Each structure stands twice: as structure tokens, then as C-alpha cells.
Chain A
């Protein structure tokens, strides 16, 4: 039987976890950058409190620009600023940036290869009571189809901070997806994090559970449940949805022979779709995708919504059982 790898230095999550929103990690990352990188400018569209850019506004007002409720303008203006040598981090909710300003991101930023960083807050159904208008479930496919885009979905606040700081060092467009709700902090400063590399957190040979965002924690809990039933699950944190770590995914397909993906997003075109594109073309194995099944959400508490729309550890367990059955 496998188990949690020691070299990934995870928190002993079975004993309890701190609950922190990944947007806090973004805010801390921005503060660090404002102290260490003169090129950084932080932009927001009237959501500074919610996205944590207010921390920058309070401490480094000269590095903060508010564009008001005008996301399309903000994205293209950031593109303009980037050509003068600045590194803008534009920030608002995922729906309003990946959706509303998609054409600016596509043509001005990605086609023009402009060095703009996008912080997409409020990703996922766990946004909760605000309801479907504000629950961004589609940014992963929307950003993944754009040539030149790097897309990172951090699993917790620690990883979100690392991803934010990394983004400034990378030349080219980056989308970082954050959530609103406090989620388990499972990684530590010592946990390896390299953009473009999926990290195996738990060894196992019967099935690979590949997750991103807070569902990596659910995958670890699911693996513990499966262990009791004699199923040895590998758990992979695939925080970088683009570019995908093809080697790690194909190794998992070959060694485990079955795959379940888990993400807090639509099941079409997201992490599951990305993994399916690789697996189906290079090493087909039974596969299932955990996510939202082609519907919009509704208002409710984050926990209620994740349960109702099928994104908890039990949902992962049942999908694992399906693929294990298919292997036989």
C-alpha cells in the first residue's frame, strides 16, 4: 500500500486543518511582491476588499490602481501598462474577468503576448450565498484554450502565495484562480511547488485521483476512505492546468490503470477535459470526472452546495469505484 509521501511535507490533515481562503494567499503574495519588485502594479475593479488587494491599497497606495466597475477597460489598460515595463496584476471575480473581458484577454493580451497577471477570485460554487451570477465555474476552459496562457489553480492559501510570487517572475500572461471560502491548508512552505509540474502527494497503484484547488484535500480524504476498503489511491495535485504535466499524468495512467479527476468547476473542458485529452490520445484507461454536471448552481452555504452538486470526498470515492469496476 502507498501513503502520503514524506517529501511533500504536507500538514497532518487527519489531525485537523486551518481553514483559510486562497484569496488570502493572493493578498499576501501581492504584499510580498510590492516590497520586493518595483515593476508590480496591482489593479482592481471595485472589489478590493473582497479580493484582498485592499491590503496593497492600504500599505502601498502608490502601487494600486482602481478601475471602477470596468473590467474590459482594466484588462486592456493592464496590457498597455505592461508594455511600459510594469507588471500589472489585475484582480476581480472570475466571472467578470474570464467571462466579460475574455476578448481583451484573448486578442490584446494573449495574441499580443503581453505580460499581464490575472487574479480571478471567487472561483467555484463554494462562493455560496451570492448565487450563480457570482459563482465562476467556467474560467478553466475559457483560459485553457488561449495560446500562451498559463493557468494555475492553487489548492490552498500557502500555494496561492507561492503561485502569485512566481507569476511576477514569469514573462507572459498568467491566470490564477482563487476561492472565496476558507479551505483546508494542507501544504507548507516546504511543500514542493513548480508551475507546470503536477505533484504526487500520495503514492498508490490502483487508481490516480487528479485534483486541483480545494478538491485536492477532498481527494486525500477520499483516498483515506478507500484505503479502508483496500483500494490504494494515488493523489496528484495538478495545480497547473496549463501547461499540463503530461509525464506525471501518463505515468499515473500506466501505473494505476484508472483515473478520476476532481475540480470545483464545470465537467466540460476543465481539468477533467484536459486530462482526458492527454489520456485518450496516449494511454487510454477508464476515467471519470468529478465536477459540476452541466448546470448552474444556486444560493446556499458552501458546504451544502459542494455536497448537493457532487464535489465532496464521497463523490470521489463513488467515481473511483466505477473506474475500478471498469478495470476488471
Chain B
């Protein structure tokens, strides 16, 4: 188990890389990438069985990013974990890059499925969980959905299937930041009470602070002990978390910090003081 303090520092660096990556790309999704940092850091550093040298390792646990637009957080995590060289991050969304605007499994090591059309990733993950279970494999499958994404009907189809077939090796996380492109989720298309809905679908449900690395780790551990039902972790988060001018603003869903002063400000909010472009030249652990 990695110490919480260390995970907090890793999370801070992941946020830094997301901001630099998106400033360099000039387009992409800031808010929903920043909100999911602790969800992924606690998973990849403390729970997931994986090997960056062998992305298709048979004994690996799987991670599926159903909210594909938040791929900057996944790419930052995969680069930090050693799946591909960190310098690839600065090619995001550019021609010939291994990092597409939404995840593509054939381009990026560590990406299990091609996602981005919302509402499909939960089914893909449930299918993988079912396939592994049918073959007697002990692997777990984790999948991160957006909260707005749960407007999609196919999410609830998958919800029925996973419970019906008792996919206790499936752990979904909902990045509950309460914002979607057009505004607050409860104003655009009300979702609450999400925990009650998933309980009614016969899932094991945890509702926790999605920025609390200890709570996230504990929820994942509880999932690993469950022997009957799929698990849904409703991770309450803040869209744009960590960057003062992005927090809780729907407008930062699909916007990026501008090169120069704006991204420098974002880094300052995260406690990084070196000129923003310097972070492209050094390794993950360099803090300036």
C-alpha cells in the first residue's frame, strides 16, 4: 500500500501534467479530467494488478474509461506508470499521435477499449467481467463513468445485466461532479438519487468523497471482498478540482487553459512555480 501522503503528491503531479498536456493540445476536456484524478491514482497505485511492460498480461485487472473525454487523466496516469514515454503527452490530439482525442485501444498501450461515445463503456466492462468469469479467471474489471453519462439508457441496461449475472468482479465508479456540458446535472436531466437507483438495481453502492484517497482505496478494498453483486462507487467530486478558476464551472468541461499566463496560473494553484514549458522537459518527479 502506498502512503496517502505520497499518493497526494502523485495526484498533484498528475494534475500538473493534465494542465500542461491540454494547454499544449489547445483543445480537450479539463474539468472532468481534474475531477477524476484521485479515482485513478488510488486505483492504479494501490489496487490494480497491472504491468506496464505487458499491457495485455492475462492476470491483469482491467480499467475502462467509459467517460472517454476525460482521457487526459488516463494518459497522464499511464505515462507516469511507464506505459509509454512521457513526451507523448505533449502530442495529445495532434496528427500521428498515439494519444487520440478520445481513447483508442489500438493506438495507446494500456487502453482496453475505444470509448468516447457515452454509455458504452459500462457494457464493455461488464462484458469483459462476464468473459473473465465464464473462463474462471480471477481478474477484476474497473470502469469509470461520468455522471451526465448516466443519462444514457444503455447504462441502465448494463446495470441490469451486471446484477442479473452477479458480476462481483465488476467495479464501476461514477465521477459525481454534478456538472455536464449544458449545466448542473439536476437541471439538465435529474439523476438523484443515484445511490438509491443503483441500490434498486441490486448493486453494492458506496457514496464517498472522490478526492479522499483513503476513502477511495477503502471502497476498492471493500469491492474486492464482495462475492455476490457488482459494485458502484459514487465518487463525489469537484469538476475542475485543484485549479481555482476552473472549479465547479460547466464552461471548463470542454475548454483548455491557454498557453502562457493561464496555464501558469493553473500550475501555481497546484503549487508548481517553474515556467510551464519546463515541465515538458523533465521527468514526472521533477517539481521545479
Contacts and interface: CB of A to CB of B under 8 A. Distances in A.
Interface of A: 41, 65, 67-68, 70, 72-73, 75-86, 103-104, 106-108, 111-113
A301 B157 CA distance: 35
Given A41-B134, A107-B114, A73 B161 contact: yes
A73 B123 contact: yes
A85 B128 CA distance: 10
Interface residues of B, number: 33
Interface string B115-128: 11101110111111
Contacts of A75: 123
Given A77-B130, A77-B158, A108 B135 contact: no
B131 interface: yes
A70 B120 contact: no
Main secondary structure of the interface of A (DSSP, over half): helix
Contacts of A106: 117
B124 A79 contact: yes
Contacts of A80: 113, 123-131
Contacts, number: 104
A278 B127 CA distance: 39
B250 to A, nearest CB: 25
Given A76-B121, A108-B113, 10 more contacts: A70-B161, A76-B120, A77-B126, A79-B123, A82-B127, A83-B113, A83-B127, A84-B132, A108-B120, A108-B124
Nearest to B116: A107
Interface string B95-121: 000000000111000001111110111
By CB atoms of chain B within 10 A, which of A67, A77, A103, A111 has the most?
A: A77
Contacts of A70: 154, 157, 160-161
B274 interface: no
A106 B157 CA distance: 19
A171 to B, nearest CB: 13
B137 interface: yes
Nearest to A101: B154
A168 B27 CA distance: 41
Interface string B143-159: 00000000001100110
By CB atoms of chain B within 10 A, which of A68, A75, A83, A104 has the most?
A: A83
A81 B131 contact: yes
A180 B117 CA distance: 33
Contacts of B124: 76-77, 79-80, 108
